[in-house]
Structure 1
Amino acid sequence: MNKISGARAVVECLKSEGVKYVFGIAGDSLIPILEVLADTPEIRYISVRHEQVATHMADGYARHTGKPSVVLVTRASGASNTVLGVVTAYSSDSPVVVIAGLPPVQSMGRGEYQDFDLVSLFKPITKFSYQVECASKIPYILHRAFRIALHGRPGPVFIGIPSNFLSEEIEPPFSFERRHGTWTASCPPQEVIEEIADMLLKSDNPAILAGNGVNLSKANEELRILAETLAAPVIPEYCQLDLLPTAHPLFIHDHKLLSDIDLLFTVGTNIPDFYMWTEVPKDAKIIQVELDAVQLCKVRPADIGVTADPKAVLNAIKDSLTRKIDDEIRNRLKRRYERIKGLKEHLLSERWPKGEWNATPIRPWRLLRDLRETLGPDAILTHDSGSLSTYWLSRCFDFYNPKTCYCCLGGVMGFALPGALGIKLAEPDRDVVALVGDGSFMMVNSALTTSVQYDIPILIIINDNSSYMQIKWRQKPPYLGSDLLNPDFVKLAESFGVYAERVEDPRNLKQAIVRCLNETRNGRTALLDVLTVSDPRYATPETYFKTSRPS
């Protein structure tokens, strides 16, 4: 084989992994890679104005497609700016590969400009953090990094490459042919499956706690069938609102249901919600089916813990249950199904407030209802960690299909806008909407110029309540630090070349959404600034219904 530069080796590795997009900001330590990318039509380079935006875009693309996405950054300042995005990707099982150009190896440890220990910085928030020791190892390390990012429970990796290696000539150690990630459709021994099925049938009041692993293994249909076979409610983990259709009788968005169970079956979870586990009775049996052994027994000891592909395990359990269910059990399960269905109908009957639909400033439920009625069932929604997204969305917004709801599972503000851009690259023919708070939007509004520059038309809806409402509702007056002074978002957006409107009257809301969607369908990004109520009593359904009921 002819010798190639380290930079060429990097790009050839990306091509062999099927990488279509690289997100980043140009830096002096990256110039050799950028010059090779400029002559590589198979990979599109997306330049952003902040590395957090690059990482969120990569995360959105990787999460939606299940394919690896690459962030290319420079030295310490550029790499450290990706931390919030990497935390989000790590919390969201997203195979984002961060590649950083480092100072020349001969100057490391001698006070070189921006010479910091980035490997240690990224180690706690990635599956793999590594610095390449010599140019000849670039292909090996990158190939390994992609395998780690994709294998088992996906997640981000960090690779640092000293800049002098990029100009060195190396002999490729193997051919750069297209490579594919591996997925092991493993399943535990049949006796374990039978034991799980027996425990589920003996339970009087089981519940299923389902997480992102269901989407990762494309096990949504298997989850639905198992829940219906067992007549067990499915409770989604935080923000996993699209695992089943919202209207499904067994899909219950209320963790308080866990307080009465005698068995909890978890599948594909991260189990970050300690408040959920405080609801689970101490004597309840626990069965876990997870992609990663790290998740087993993380919060509570499990009676049975399985590390395997959720799709394969759910299928096997369903088959075992079907063989074991006789007429007596079937009648018992039917009664349980009707009871849970009645509970779901009751919850749906109380989901909407009785009044204030035309009140100004606009109420959260009016915004969500009008948005849902305007969007098609296949539209994709990204949202941030504000009170509207965290609380009202799960109560007042229906999802119909898997992989149509994405949020920042790490609690980071700023994912929704750039995340939507990454998803739109993967889904150019679908409506993609970023529902953002005014606080989150101001952190990443430079993404507007990326949207315009690279023709990535999405709809951004700002929940403009002039506050960090997620914090404000927990405070007492004067709400120190939580009230915001906002710019004119319409003028700001228009200065980027974005179509923009502002809505203050709820009666004008739906038509404004329609106009903005039409702009995006014609290839232009649109922004809708919705003036919403800033009173903390409206922050969550709990605070609203508590204060609006007569004493």
Structure 2
Amino acid sequence: MQLTGSQVIIECLKEQGVDTVFGYPGGAILNVYDELYKHPEIRHVLTSHEQGASHAADGYARSTGKVGVCMATSGPGATNLVTGIATAYMDSIPIVAITCNVGVSLLGKDSFQEIDIAGITTPITKYSFIVKDVTKLADTIRRAFSIARKGRPGPVLVDITKDVTANKTEYIKKEPKMPQPDCSAFNEDDLKKAIQMIEKAKKPYIFVGGGAILSGASEVLKTFVEKTDAPVCDTLMGKGAYDGTSENYTGMLGMHGTKTSNLGVSECDLLIAVGVRFSDRVLGNPKKFAKQAKILQIDIDPVEINKNIIVNHSIIGDVAIVLGKLNEKLEQQKHTEWLSHIADYQKMYPMTIPKEGLSGPFMIAKIYEMAKDAIMVTEVGQHQMWAAQYFKYSKPRTLLTSGGLGTMGYGLGAAIGAQTANPDKQVINIAGDGCFRMNMNELATASRQKLPLIEVIVNNHVLGMVRQWQTLFYKQHYSATVLDDGVDYVKIAEAMGAAARRVTTQEEFNAAFQEALESKTPFVIDAIVDSDDKVWPMVAPGAPINECFDGKDFESKNK
């Protein structure tokens, strides 16, 4: 049948099972929005800013495992998506961003709101398309979804000229073919060598990253851990892949990892890295990272092998499939003495919560106590680390956070995406006051959509993590990090249609959070904490991870 390009776009979205699109209209994309108006089966969430749309698509994707979709018009509309696309790219999140450009005859002429968005996004997407021929539109959109899903997931951009959205072509519906995991890169010898390494190890440690979540590997990972009989640590992106309430789970590894994980990995004789990329925040000093251990890396992307650290053996493939194959071949291991040693570390170096006063650790622990099944979203900074340290993630896709790019302003948009996708779950965004400022306009979106998400602002009136570094490493030169300017977040929230409370004590927070849980509208808690609260433990930049220190260590060293 003959359809316009705009009609083809909508039909292709329906083919792919898309039920929600986040976006913001404009002149170049008007034809598409006019067609979208006729299809209420696709929910459109109008955000306050295009960046909010890209983060919402990301949050939708992270919380569901589906491809998130966002749309924007040409020029600044398209460029406003860039930060969200880069955020998704760094964390391997499947989104498809659809933008429209000026007509083909106007390309390359500095036309009004013309921009080469495909060129701009090439380094931060798996693929960027520009469609100038309506006959190629349907297949391009189908390819975009396939690429976004396939192998290591990631964002894809499709830019479509305005005349293509109006021109007609023959459209034939096609059922999408979901990509199947590719297992061709490893063989029986790879599995055999891995088994030999595991069986030879006396002190194995399992290190889990976001790849285990993306592959849906939680169940086979649990079996693998039980058969290996080893302690488990994770990355920020790996939270929830392995049950954080398990006895042999020791917390995060790296710069703000637990002392147990950092010391344990530094002592192990085999580190089994599952879906991790060995980022600089994990390695500390790469020359001294796990020097006494052999490293076995399991990852779907061959580019990640030997990129940041040299490993002894690798298996390239879908994590869930590889672990399943290893489980079939691995005999039950026993490491009682090693596990007991790690358990002693856990007793020696517990994560503590200040007993007096309102603090980030107290609030996260209380949120866990009152809302264990919530989807937690964070911005970036101290509050992000506290959310990783003090909330026990027992299921995958329950912590949504910008790990690779570290995007301030990510959380509220992502929370909107997650709450839209999961209406029956409680979504909570943890923000610092610096991050909240960046995209707080999206509160209006949450109010308009009647989303009962909770926004907790850990308000210390400074850029907390930067101030922490300035305190520790820059002689307390607080350059451009003080935010004590009288902004009233409660009034801002109420003006945007949300309920809000300001709290200064533990008792006030408990009451406000209970009220927020019962609210049917967005609810903001402005929680005032001390400007000099710090995230502990910490590893200094460039130091080996076994040199982690906490507040007491710091005070003793600087007496």
2:296 alignment partner in structure 1 = 287
Q: Deviations over 1:161-207 (max 9, x none)?
A: 111111111112xx324425223263732232121100111123222
2:319 alignment partner in structure 1 = 310
2:92 alignment partner in structure 1 = 93
Indicate if the aligned counterparts of 2:210 and 2:237 stay in contact, CA closer than 8 A: no
1:400 alignment partner in structure 2 = 394
Q: Deviations over 1:472-506 (max 9, x none)?
A: 11113340110112511111111111111010122
Cα distance, 1:516 vs structure 2? 1.0
Cα distance, 1:274 vs structure 2? 5.2
Q: Which runs of 5+ in 2 are unaligned?
A: 255-261, 539-549
1:225 alignment partner in structure 2 = 223
Cα distance, 1:270 vs structure 2? 3.0
1:494 alignment partner in structure 2 = 494
Cα distance, 1:157 vs structure 2? 0.5
1:424 pairs with 396, 419, 423, which one?
419
Q: Deviations over 1:354-393 (max 9, x none)?
A: xx5233xx22222222222221x21111011111212x33
Cα distance, 1:539 vs structure 2? 4.3
Letter in 2 for 1:136: T
Letter in 1 for 2:318: D
TM-score computed with the length of structure 1 as normaliser? 0.91
Distance 2:445 2:343 in 1: 46
1:338 alignment partner in structure 2 = 340
Alignment of 1:438-453 (within 5 A): 438-453=433-448
Cα distance, 1:222 vs structure 2? 1.7
Cα distance, 1:71 vs structure 2? 1.0
Indicate if the aligned counterparts of 1:268 and 1:291 stay in contact, CA closer than 8 A: yes
Percent identity of the aligned residues? Answer: 28
Indicate if the aligned counterparts of 2:148 and 2:154 stay in contact, CA closer than 8 A: yes
1:250 alignment partner in structure 2 = 248
2:466 pairs with 466, 471, 482, which one?
471
1:366 alignment partner in structure 2 = 362
RMSD: 2.0
Q: Deviations over 1:277-311 (max 9, x none)?
A: 62524463222211222222211233322221211
SS of 1:70 mapped into structure 2? strand
SS of 1:385 mapped into structure 2? coil
Indicate if the aligned counterparts of 1:211 and 1:236 stay in contact, CA closer than 8 A: yes
Alignment of 1:128-527 (within 5 A): 128-172=127-171, 175-184=172-181, 186=183, 188-253=186-251, 254-255=253-254, 256=262, 257-273=264-280, 275-276=282-283, 278=286, 279-282=288-291, 284-322=293-331, 325=332, 330=334, 333-347=335-349, 350-353=350-353, 356-359=354-357, 362-375=358-371, 377-390=372-385, 392-409=386-403, 410-475=405-470, 476-484=475-483, 485-519=485-519, 523-527=520-524
Distance 1:394 1:457 in 2: 23
SS of 1:474 mapped into structure 2? helix
How many residue pairs match? The answer is 529
Q: Deviations over 1:56-86 (max 9, x none)?
A: 1000001111111211111121111111111
Distance 1:423 1:342 in 2: 38
Cα distance change of structure 1 residues 281 and 381 upon mapping to structure 2, 3 Å threshold: closer
SS of 2:249 mapped into structure 1? coil
Cα distance, 1:93 vs structure 2? 1.7
Indicate if the aligned counterparts of 2:278 and 2:309 stay in contact, CA closer than 8 A: no
Letter in 2 for 1:386: G
Indicate if the aligned counterparts of 2:206 and 2:231 stay in contact, CA closer than 8 A: yes
Distance 1:244 1:66 in 2: 17
1:107 alignment partner in structure 2 = 106
